[in-house]
Amino acid sequence: MEPRSRRASRQKKSDNNGIGKIAAVIVVSTLLIGLAIFFAINQEDKGAKNASEETKKETTPSTTEPTKPSSSEPQIELTEIQMLVNKEHGLDEDYVPPDLIVPKIKFVYQTAEIKQMQRVAAESLEKMFEAAKQDGLPLAGVSGYRSYKTQKILYNNYVKRDGQEAADRYSAKPGHSEHMTGLTMDIAGYSGKCAASDCFHNTKEAQWLKDNAYKYGFILRYPPGKEEITGYKHESWHYRYVGEPLAKFIYEKQITLEEYYETYAKK
């Protein structure tokens, strides 16, 4: 009895081994088929993606409306408020922004013209200054709107003082200053110390503005490391109003207004 049962159990064992081998073969081949299918689908998916990118590329140019962002980006309505003024894009000599008012803030200088901003920007600036004050960092306005004539005088003086090449890195030719839009304000700390100077870069006020301005529709227009794109060296004090949706977008993407127009807004 004993040997038989032992044999039987051995037999059973070898049967088990047989079934095990078959099962293993099935598992392995299923796996291989699965993998093959997976790769096939994956390839197809890639192909489809490439194809859709291809069609996207084909359909985007020139057919879309000018100054409209692409459909994959949040729709930002582009008006005069988002206008691009730089070394390439200038304003006519007789351009005067609409609805210029003087925001109710402290100013470093008392020249009437340069205190002005377009109303929509001025009202947002007041809110931003109030918020900074609440955070213990009161601010002061340095320079807002500048007419073509004022910019001409300024620029010519800078050229006389530093030479044209140097002046072009920090000052704009008349018609090409963003200050002429009435949407820009140079901002300093309440004392006015370091107004429109590099020593403003490392102040708490500059940091606060960098972190919070977008909430009020303003962007740091000439950020560090973007001189090649903006044409200007870092200006921690120069803020430009573009409206909240675009300011937030530019802040989050860490881009400049030039890059926005180049990459996201359709020409």
Binding site for Zn ion (CB under 5 A): 186, 238
Active-site choice (44, 53, 205, 235): 235
Within 10 angstroms of residue 104's Cβ, the number of other Cβ atoms is 11
**Considering the complex, what minimum distance in angstroms separates the CB of residue 77 from Zn ion?**
26
Q: Of 176 and 238, which CB lies nearer to Zn ion in the complex structure?
A: 238
Who's near 197: CB < 8 A, 6+ residues apart? 237
Instruction: Specify the residue, 69 or 223, whose C-beta has the smaller distance to Zn ion.
Output: 223
Provide the 8-state DSSP code for 242.
-
State how far the Cα of 117 lies from the Cα of 183, in Å rounded to an integer: 6
CB of 100 to Zn ion, least distance (A): 17
Indicate if 58 belongs to the active site.
Answer: no
For the residues of 192-225, what is the DSSP string, one character each?
-TTTTSGGGTTSHHHHHHHHHGGGGTEEEEE-TT
Name the β-bridge partners of 104: none
Q: How far is the CB of 95 from Zn ion (least distance, A)?
A: 17
* Cβ-based nearer residue to Zn ion, 83 or 245: 83
Q: Which residue has the CB atom at the shortest distance from Zn ion? A: 238
Residue type, 44: E
Residues assigned a catalytic role? 235
